[in-house]
Amino acid sequence: MTTLLLCGTGSTGQAIAKLLQAANRPLVITSRAGKGPEPYRTVAFEWENPATFANPWEVDANIDRVYIVSPTIYDMMPHAKPFIDLAIAKGVTRFVLLSESELAPGDLYTGKIHQYLLDVGVDHFVLRPTWFTQNFGRYFYHSIREQNEIFSATGNGRIPWVSVEDLAQLAFEALTAEQCANTDKLVFGPELYTYDEIAELFTEVLGRKITHKKLSVAEFEQTFVTFGVSPEHSRLLASMEEAVSNGIEEGLYNSPAEKKYIGKHKLSDYIRENKALWITE
């Protein structure tokens, strides 16, 4: 049977695709333009265009499990519900949803999709990762290279940064397991860090002083708006930063073992292995 990876050209989709390919598991990935890297079969798919929802099954009628990545649309249910319903009608029996650590069933964004999967009663596994280590190569790329700083509104709060590779491993297991767990898992890396401690790591690895610029919640929200993130999602990210400052991520990290998955990749190793990203000539 075949796995469909929505947003399969994204970072988590590509990492999962590599694992499925290595295991000789048939897969189809989607992108807006319908183009993707070899050797994957790629079809056009847009959440905002229901006419594209059936495209994957025109390529492979045997799709029976789907990895859902949701865009940053404030209310996803008008888009997600029709797709999930269609997928079930097409024979899909399992969904693996990428959500976020701080979003419970029924909350905004992917929290609503999580709740719908529960309401429908279909087999599902919901991934609730904390923030990705790869963010430092994306959102902080320019600030580290050009201003020698990272920024946050987290104060002294600590985060168990997780790698895309660890998230992909758990997603792969959830997609390919003989029996579906029908649960959600918090997904963390092995170590907790404050942003001050991360700045020290960068300083050590890069050989120049990197500082942590402490922003207000409002300043952080506006920063992500300038990155092109929607105002609604920027507001959510800012509220999550504030929650970190109040200890929410550390509290989640200390959840009972059965509620979480601890990856093996360390943030410190990611910085060392990718230091060329932030080195200026």
Q: What digits encode the pLDDT tens for the residues 185-199?
A: 999 999 999 999 999
Q: Kindly give the residue spans of alpha helices, DSSP state H, lying in the chain.
A: 11-22, 55-59, 77-89, 110-120, 141-147, 164-176, 195-206, 217-226, 231-245, 248-253, 267-273
Q: What pLDDT sits at residue 66? A: 98
Q: What pLDDT sits at residue 272? A: 97
CATH code for the domain defined by 135-158+191-254+266-278: 3.90.25.10
With a cut of 90, say whether residue 61 has pLDDT above it: yes
Say what percent of the chain tops pLDDT 90. 90
> What angle, rounded to 10 degrees, do the helices at 217-226 and 231-245 form?
140
Q: What pLDDT sits at residue 247? A: 97
Give ranges for CATH 3.90.25.10 in the chain: 135-158+191-254+266-278
- Condensed to tens digits (0 to 9), the pLDDT of residues 246-268 reads 999 999 999 999 999 999 999 99
- What is the overall mean pLDDT for the chain? 96
- Higher pLDDT among residues 73 and 137, named by residue: 137
With a cut of 80, say whether residue 73 has pLDDT above it: no
Q: What pLDDT sits at residue 25? A: 98
Q: In the structure encoding, which two tokens stand for residue 269, read together?
A: 């190793």
Reduced to 3 states, what is the DSSP secondary structure of residue 230?
coil
- Give the architecture-level CATH label for domain 2-129: 3-Layer(aba) Sandwich (3.40)
With a cut of 90, say whether residue 239 has pLDDT above it: yes
Q: Give CA angle at 44 (41, 47), nearest 5°.
A: 130
Q: What pLDDT sits at residue 263? A: 98
Average pLDDT over residues 154-179: 98
Q: What pLDDT sits at residue 111? A: 94
- Condensed to tens digits (0 to 9), the pLDDT of residues 1-51 reads 999 999 999 999 999 999 999 999 999 999 999 999 999 999 999 999 999
Give ranges for CATH 3.40.50.720 in the chain: 2-129
Residues 61 and 206: their CA atoms lie apart, in Å, by 50
> What angle, rounded to 10 degrees, do the helices at 164-176 and 11-22 form?
50
* Confidence category of residue 212, pLDDT binned at 50, 70, 90: very high
With a cut of 80, say whether residue 164 has pLDDT above it: yes
Q: What pLDDT sits at residue 158? A: 98
With a cut of 90, say whether residue 71 has pLDDT above it: no
Per the listing, tokens 């999930």 go with: 84
